[in-house]
Amino acid sequence: MTAAPVMPVPTRPGRTSHVPLAAAGRLLRLELRRNVMLWMLPIVVALFWLITYRPAMAYPPMWNVRAMTMQTTAVAVFVPIVVGASGWLGSREARHGMTDLLSGASRPRWARQLATWAATTCWALVAYLGCVAVLYVVTARQGAWGGPLWWPVAVGAASLPAFSALGFAAGALRPSRFTAPLVAVAAFLALQLAAQLIQGDHSPWQVSPLVAGPWEIGPDQGVATFYRYLPDLPIVQLILLAGLTAALLGVLGLPAGSGGRWLRRSAAALTAAGVLAATTATALAGTGRLDPGGMIAIPALHNPANDRPVPYTPTCSDTLIPVCLHPAYSVYLPTVTAVLEPVLGELAGLPGAPVRIDQSPALYRQGPGNGVAISRSGPAMTGTPPTLHILLPITLAGSVTADGLATELRTNTARDVLNNVIAGERRETTDAQQAVAEALLRTGTLTPGTPTAIAARRFAALPPATRHAWLTRHVAALRAGQITLAELP
């Protein structure tokens, strides 16, 4: 008998290339289901509503103010919670005494750690993007002019992976039940301290993700309104955060038990690249300067095309002398019109009086230390017939109220409008000019009983038509300083 030949059994080629990805996906889904960050979501949403959403809604519906406020406060809200949750999960294996037990697992320790970190980051990003979406949708429905600003959103989102990696690395390298709270508090204090160390516009500390613009002036309404929101500083911040994320995750793969030699070399290369990126970003931030439009410009990244003014159609009142504001400031037009209308009625038709009042963009100049000077850009009067340019008394968004704005308009803006007609560009007004200004404004700033106050009261007692007729005939001489108190009717 001859034995039958044994035929080889055909086998299918195994799909080994898909096994690591499938296993990583299953591990990530497992970590997502049991991640402690999931239970922290109600807390972080409540803090966002209290610290970010409510103050932002107190500001006018302006994309620049709300977006910059959102970045600054949202990062401060999310960082301690994300760092604490990541630190707790990073020390999980050591706290449960499972390090030796899991050393024989099929997946390298670094891969398991990356899956846990990724799950924590995913839940933090879901909460952050959901909160920001609510804030932006409400702002859009309130009729904010222009479009939403996405750079502050990107910086806030990039902060979460970086600080999650910080907490996880601290928990993994120094496992303890005290690591999570300590590193959370330390991260929060480090952010606040870095912001306080900013001195002037050439400070490398402005690379902090808490900084959405010039730290000295805060969320100013004039920033990114007349001119574009500069992406220079956000780009540098994104480079820093990406570098920190890479460096911290790479540090997790350096210990001997993290994986094989090739994996550890990859982790070392990732760490070096991250440190290089973070160092470069910090150096670039130190070259930033305050742009005349109120943003931080970094020469190596600055695009001159962003220096051009943003075109817009102004919103104007129907007063005798129209008052025209930038459409982003249209919410203030009724207040501005109500305060200036009496003065505009007195000035309408006078020789040299403006036929239109336009809002002027603010010009920002860096002063000594953290001081910033804000002034009107360009001359007060331009064109024939003349147009008067005014700077609204709105600087910091948090200091604006309806009553405060009306008072500031009545005491300063209305006086500036009047003085430009009866005194021109003079820095010092004559007694007659002061008397006429007080008679029309009635602010009560003159000392009672003085000759100027008596002349002002006498001029104010005239019928409006008589005052207007006298000003029409004598405003040129009054502007030239040729009218005395005795010559006032």
> Is the pLDDT assigned to residue 352 strictly greater than 90?
no
Q: Which two tokens stand for residue 482?
A: 């040729």
pLDDT at 202: 82
Query: Is 433 in the same domain as 415?
Result: no
CB 148 within 8 A of CB 63: yes
387 class by beta-carbon count within 10 Å (0-12 exposed, 13-18 middle, 19+ buried): middle
Tell me which of 262 and 167 has the higher pLDDT: 167
The domain total for the chain is 3
| CA 221, 225, 231, 232 torsion-angle sign | negative
Is 6 among the domain residues? no
89 and 59: one domain? yes
pLDDT at residue 112 tops 90: no
Are residues 255 and 385 located together in one domain of the fold?
no
Listed residues 304, 325, 340: the one ending a domain: 304
Does residue 323 register a pLDDT over 90? yes
Band of the pLDDT at 3, cuts 50, 70, 90? low
Same domain membership, residue 458 and residue 372: no
Domain contains 487? yes
Q: Is residue 8 part of a domain?
A: no
pTM, to two decimals: 0.86
In a domain, 472, yes or no: yes
| AA letter at 200 | G
Q: Is residue 3 part of a domain?
A: no
Give yes or no: residues 300 and 346 share one domain. no
Q: Which helix (H) or strand (E) holds 431?
A: helix 431-441
pLDDT of 91: 84
How is residue 66 written in tokens? 């709300």
Domain range enclosing 458: 426-489
Residues 6+ apart with CB under 8 A from 150: none
243: its two tokens: 């570098």
- pLDDT band at residue 20 under the 50/70/90 scheme: low
Q: Are residues 378 and 467 in the same domain?
A: no
pLDDT tier at 279 (50, 70, 90 boundaries)?
A: very high
Q: Which residue has the higher pLDDT, 223 or 316?
A: 316
- Predicted pLDDT at 126: 96
CB < 8 Å & 24+ apart, contacts of 258-264 = 258/108, 258/109, 258/110, 258/113, 259/108, 259/109, 259/110, 259/111, 260/108, 263/108, 263/110
Q: Is there a single domain that holds both residue 272 and residue 374? A: no
For residues 217 and 177, the model is more confident at 177
Listed residue (73, 55, 49) closest to 152, CA to CA:
73
Residue 224, Ramachandran bin (φ over 0: left; ψ between -120 and 50: alpha; else beta) = left
pLDDT digits (tens, 9 = 90+) for 49-108: 999 999 999 888 889 889 999 999 999 999 999 999 999 998 877 665 555 444 544 567
How many C-beta atoms surround the C-beta of residue 236 within 10 A?
27
User: What mean pLDDT do residues 225-246 have?
Assistant: 94
Residues 240-267 pLDDT 10s? 999 999 999 999 888 876 777 888 898 9
Same domain for 288 and 327?
Answer: no
